[in-house]
A and B are shown apart, each in its own frame.
Chain A
Amino acid sequence: KNEVEQSPQNLTAQEGEFITINCSYSVGISALHWLQQHPGGGIVSLFMLSSGKKKHGRLIATINIQEKHSSLHITASHPRDSAVYICAVESFQGAQKLVFGQGTRLTINP
């Protein structure tokens, strides 16, 4: 079993829909990262969380440390949100090493 599991692996929705992407992990962590990767493009950091909730524009990220679970929400989705969303965790042990989920491919149709 991977240390970081994302669901769903693929998600297609219509413009305007509310989107939820889930991330579960099995190790103790010091932080969790949500990243975005556009087709053929680089990777950008969306959020870094160690507790609670963060919001940036239409994006909201939450984390439940006790349940080892995080969610990324997109409100009023738009075709430009189409991308791969990647969850990554930093474990407590050792120097900063990220363990990545396999990513969720999101497609928003107009």
Chain B
Amino acid sequence: NAGVTQTPKFQVLKTGQSMTLQCAQDMNHEYMSWYRQDPGMGLRLIHYSVGAGITDQGEVPNGYNVSRSTTEDFPLRLLSAAPSQTSVYFCASSYGGRAYEQYFGPGTRLTVT
């Protein structure tokens, strides 16, 4: 199993550009989440999904869009990048809804200039 994969690993965007961060898992996990990690702050939840076709907002959803058309994939879209979105983004998955081990992707380091 590849586990949770994320692409790209690094990305530089100009303000106003859009892009999609890819996340995929091959463990047949129902739950998938996107987090951002900023210096001095804990990981914060952006969006999450409890299964294909079902998504919901987390703590910091503004400026981001998600969809879940398959169990395996959970892409995160930046609609119009802003410098405040400079961060490290992690995708995570777990088998079920409560008290299941979390599996994290390797992260995407995004810089918006």
Contacts and interface: CB of A to CB of B under 8 A. Distances in A.
A31 B99 contact: yes
Secondary structure of the B side of the interface?
Answer: loop
Contacts, number: 66
Secondary structure of the A side of the interface?
Answer: strand
Contacts of A96: 31, 48, 50, 94, 96-98, 100
B50 A95 contact: yes
Interface stretch (B19-27, B65-73, B74-82, B104-112): B104-112
Interface string A89-104: 0100001111111110
Interface residues of B, number: 27
Contact of A30 (B42, B56, B98, B107): B98
A50 B103 CA distance: 18
